Amino acid sequence: MTALRADVFPALYKPLSDDRSGETLKTGKEAGCFFHPNKKAEVTCTACGRFLCSLCDLEINADHLCPLCLEKGRTRRKIRNLENNRTCYDTIALFMAVFPMLFFWPTLLTAPIAIFISIRYWKSPTSIIRRSKFRFIAAIATAGLQIGGWTLFFANVLS
């Protein structure tokens, strides 16, 4: 016995347009769609070359893709405009270099890890919003100074 409010857009009451249903094949000499053999092919997939009808044609960045190639591009992260999140390895490397300095001893382990992350992911995209490689450079410099400090420390202790 709870009140429920539903806001409906005016498009709900409009009939569906039939402009993307695909043209039916009229003769046996025309190419058919890979996914709908009875529909006329209008374009080919840019990635795999399959014939596509207007219903299956997915245009992204002026490329015509079939649904399978679009899904592959999304899962393998080959289509940049479909990404909505990305791991920022430059931030992770900088965090691994700077934050453990508060406790001093963890830097013995985290400094090499920060350098490894910086070198390993140098060519990876930094963020969806463009950033420079400054964080990687800062992480390498900070971790290098920490490793140099540990080297001096152990050289003095062991001698």
Q: What is the pLDDT of residues 39-67, one digit of tens each?
A: 888 889 988 989 988 888 888 888 888 99
Mean pLDDT of 17-45: 78
Q: What are the residue boundaries of the structural domains of the chain, listed by start? A: 20-82, 89-158
**18 pLDDT more than 60:** no
Distance CA 56, CA 38 (A): 13
- Please give the full DSSP string across 7-75, using - where no structure is assigned: ---GGGGSPPP-TTS-PBP-STTSPBPSS-TTBBP-EE-TTT--EE-TTT-EEETTEEE-HHHHHHHHH
Distance CA 48, CA 73 (A): 12
**29 pLDDT more than 90:** no
The pTM of this model reads: 0.56
pLDDT in tens, 124-155: 877 777 788 999 999 999 999 999 999 999 99
Mean pLDDT of 87-100: 94
Residue-level pLDDT at 20: 58
Report yes or no: 43 and 53 within 8 Å, Cβ to Cβ: no
Looking at 1.10.1420, 1.10.3470, 3.30.40, 3.40.50, the CATH number of the domain 20-82 comes to 3.30.40
Residue-level pLDDT at 80: 66
